[in-house]
Amino acid sequence: MTYVELIVVLSIFSIMSGVLLFGYGDYGKQVDVQNLSQEIALQIVGAQKMSVSGKLLSPDQEPVLTNFAITSWKPSYGVYFSTSNPISNNSTEANPVQFIPFFDASNIGYYGLDYSCGSGSGSSIDLANDECTDIIKLGKGDKITCLFAGSSTVTACDSNNSIHDLSIVFTRPNSGANIVISPTSLGGSTPQFEDKAIIVISNQDNPNIHSTITVLSSGVITVD
C-alpha cells in the first residue's frame, strides 16, 4: 500500500466519520422529542384510565370536595396545556416547557385557571385546594410549540391557527375525550368544545425536529 492510497483511505474514513457525528446530534434530539411525545401521550391515556375506572381521590385530596362544596361527585381527570396563560401561581418558567395533569374538582369540565396549582410553599402542591396533581416539566431543550383544536389538520405552527390553552378531560363512564379551550383563552365566559386536538412538540434549537400528538373526541390518541 502506497502513501497515496493510505491518505485516500484515511480521508474517506474521516469524511464518513464527520457525516455520522454531524447527524448524530440531530438524531439524538429527534429521539428525545419522540420520547417526550410518548410520555405526554401516556399522561393523557393515564387520565383516561383513571376516569373510566372511577379512581377515587387520595385522603390528601378529599378536602377538595368540601372546599369546592361538592356533595355528589364522580372523578374526572385530564391534562392541561398552555403556551401563554399562567399555568401555575408559583411558576417562573415559560409555560411551553411544562404541563399539568389534574382532576376536575370544580366539576366544570376543564382545568380552572382561577385555581392555584402549586399554592403551597415553593413549588409544592396543596392537594386540599388545588385541581392539579402535578406540574411536569419537559426539559432537554424541548417545548410545546403550538396547540391546535378542531377539524384542522395543520401541524405547522401558525399564530393564525394555533390556540393558547387546551384541556383534555375524561369523564366516566365515557372513554371519549372532552377537548376544551377555556373561556380565559377565548376572552369570553363560555368554553369551546372541539372534536380533535393536536399538540406539537419540538426542539428549541431546531424547530424542524418535532413530533405531534393527536387526540380525538372518540378517545383515540396517536403520536407521529
pLDDT, tens digit (0-9, with 9 covering 90-100), for 12-29: 767 776 655 555 567 778
Q: Are 180 and 202 in contact (CB under 8 A)?
A: no
Name the percent of the chain lying above pLDDT 70.
Answer: 64
What cell does 73 get? 361527585
pLDDT reported for residue 223 = 92
Our CA angle for 77, 81, 82, nearest 5°, is 145
pLDDT reported for residue 177 = 92
What cell does 128 get? 386540599
Tell me whether the omega of the peptide bond preceding residue 173 falls within 30 degrees of 0, making it cis. Answer: yes
φ/ψ of 129, rounded to 5, equals -130, -5
Q: Could you tell me the pTM of the whole model?
A: 0.77
pLDDT, tens digit (0-9, with 9 covering 90-100), for 30-82: 888 888 899 999 999 999 998 888 887 776 666 666 666 555 566 789 999 88
Among the listed residues 198, 158, 154, 201, the one whose alpha carbon sits nearest the alpha carbon of residue 30: 201
pLDDT reported for residue 206 = 81
CA-based radius of gyration for the chain: 22
The stretch 98-119 carries a mean pLDDT of 74
